[in-house]
Structure 1
Amino acid sequence: MELELPKRLYAVGLEPQVKKINNGCRMELIRDLKKAMYAEYNDVKIDPVFKYIMAIADNKLGFSGKLVDSFLCKQLITSKMHEEWFVFPRTPLRFSLQEYHAVTGLKVSRESSSDVVTWKNDGGFWSNLLRTGDKITLKSIRKVHLKEVQKWTRIDRMRLIYLCVIMGVVIGRDEKVNIPDMYIKLVMDLDKLRKFHWGLHSYDFLLSSIEKARKKLG
């Protein structure tokens, strides 16, 4: 006897049509960082905090448009927090924090000590950026700052790589979006960076992005 599935958000045959899927993931930028800062890139690569994410970039893995389409249009109506179900192609699949952690290796438990409060001014590029309130994007990093990084301190070059991994892959933001001060403050303290709940943070952001995209479909 087959188990009855929860109702679909959209009935079969009435799913909205996705004409275009924008891929916010910036794997090509990560590979550019490797060419420009090979030694620092390898240091970040072996850091457990983003080890799985860096492996995805190194192995040139992409995303499935059909899978994203199922997320948007073939979701099942469920009520559990941090858990989504969808049909792909006719098989029900769960996408929860458990699966997300298994794929990304990102921390999903939140620690009270992981909140960003202060940062120490070391006189470097990122300290000056925070001090002056200037903004920076992945686009400006790619077009401007990558040409200047050899003048920076080694730790600032590593911070640049961490930020590009966070914004370009973990969160997957558009390259024109300003990098939040919170992320810059986190890379100023690598202990706090490693304690931060990147899995929970990026999973919640991903689901909210899917919901926003779904609403635009009507």
Structure 2
Amino acid sequence: MELELPKRLYAEGSEPRVKKINNSCRMELIRDLKKAMCAEYDDVKRDHVFTHIMAIAENDLKFSGKLVDSFICRQLITSKLHEKWFVFARTPLRFSLQEYHAVTGLKITRETNSDVVKWKNDGGFWSNLLHTGGKITLQSIRKVHLQEVHTWTRLDRMRLIYLCVIVGVVMGRDEKVSIPHMYIKLVMDFDKVRKFHWGLHSYDFLLSSIEKAMKKLGKKESYIFEGFSYALHIWIMEAIPDFGETLGRRVSDSFKG
């Protein structure tokens, strides 16, 4: 007897056509950081908190917006609040926090005593920006500040790398939008970065991005997709091995779908 599945977001064959997905998750920024600050980059790379993220960046995985968009259209309508279900070849596929953690290795447990508001002013670039309430974007970092980092302290250069990994990849935020000061305050203390629940935080943001994309399907020919899109992309390739063989090789055996 064939399994009865929940209703699809779009009936098979009626999926809207989208010409382009503007992917906000910028792996190329990580490679730019390596060129500009090789020594500091290696220090951050050795930190266990973003080990999987750095591995994905260095393996130069190609992103397929068409693949991600097609899967969003294959979504099943369920009452589950903190997971998404998709269908492929009549097989239901779950993308929950468990699968997300398996792909990213990011911390998913919240620490109750983690204070992200307090930070110590050391007179450096980031302290001055926070003290004056200044604004900064990933775009300005790429176009302006990467050319100036040689005048910064080594600590501030490392903070820049952590911040770009967080905002540019893990959160996959629009490069033209000002970076929330919360993230800058976090990178002022590397121990707080290691304790923060990046997996839970970024997974929720990715789900909200999928919801936004759903609302734009059929209305626009393109849309901005924020969040750690590569995590969803890798999960699809692991869940459907034929896609993985076509679009890229495994990053490592630690990535399980």
**TM class, shorter-chain normalised?**
over 0.9
Note closer, same or farther for the CA distance 1:160–1:95 as it changes in structure 2 (3 Å cut): same
TM-score by length of 1: 0.95
Work out the number of aligned pairs and report it.
Answer: 218
Q: Deviations over 1:13-32 (max 9, x none)?
A: 22222221111111111101
* Conserved 8 A contact 2:117-2:182: no
* Conserved 8 A contact 2:126-2:184: yes
Alpha-carbon distance in structure 2 between the residues aligned to 1:88 and 1:140: 41
* Conserved 8 A contact 1:115-1:196: no
Runs (4 or more) in structure 1 with deviation over 6 Å come to: none
Alpha-carbon distance in structure 1 between the residues aligned to 2:48 and 2:81: 27
Name the counterpart of 2:78: 78
SS at match of 1:107: coil
SS at match of 1:22: strand
Alpha-carbon distance in structure 2 between the residues aligned to 1:116 and 1:153: 22
Q: Deviations over 1:114-148 (max 9, x none)?
A: 34121110111000000011101111111111111
Name the counterpart of 1:153: 153
Alpha-carbon distance in structure 1 between the residues aligned to 2:89 and 2:41: 38
* Conserved 8 A contact 1:70-1:87: no
Name the counterpart of 2:109: 109
Alpha-carbon distance in structure 2 between the residues aligned to 1:206 and 1:102: 15
SS at match of 1:98: helix
Name the counterpart of 1:195: 195
Alpha-carbon distance in structure 1 between the residues aligned to 2:66 and 2:136: 33
TM-score by length of 2: 0.81
Note the residue ranges of structure 1 that are not aligned, 5 or more in a row. Answer: none
Aligned pairs (5 A) from 1:28-107: 28-88=28-88, 90-107=90-107
* Conserved 8 A contact 1:82-1:97: yes
SS at match of 2:168: helix
Letter in 2 for 1:62: K
Letter in 2 for 1:109: T
1:135 aligns with 2:135: yes
SS at match of 1:92: strand
Question: Which sits farther off after the overlay, 37-46 or 60-69?
Answer: 60-69
Note the residue ranges of structure 2 that are not aligned, 5 or more in a row. Answer: 219-257
* Conserved 8 A contact 2:9-2:74: yes
Alpha-carbon distance in structure 2 between the residues aligned to 1:69 and 1:171: 19
Alpha-carbon distance in structure 2 between the residues aligned to 1:124 and 1:90: 56
Alpha-carbon distance in structure 1 between the residues aligned to 2:64 and 2:89: 13
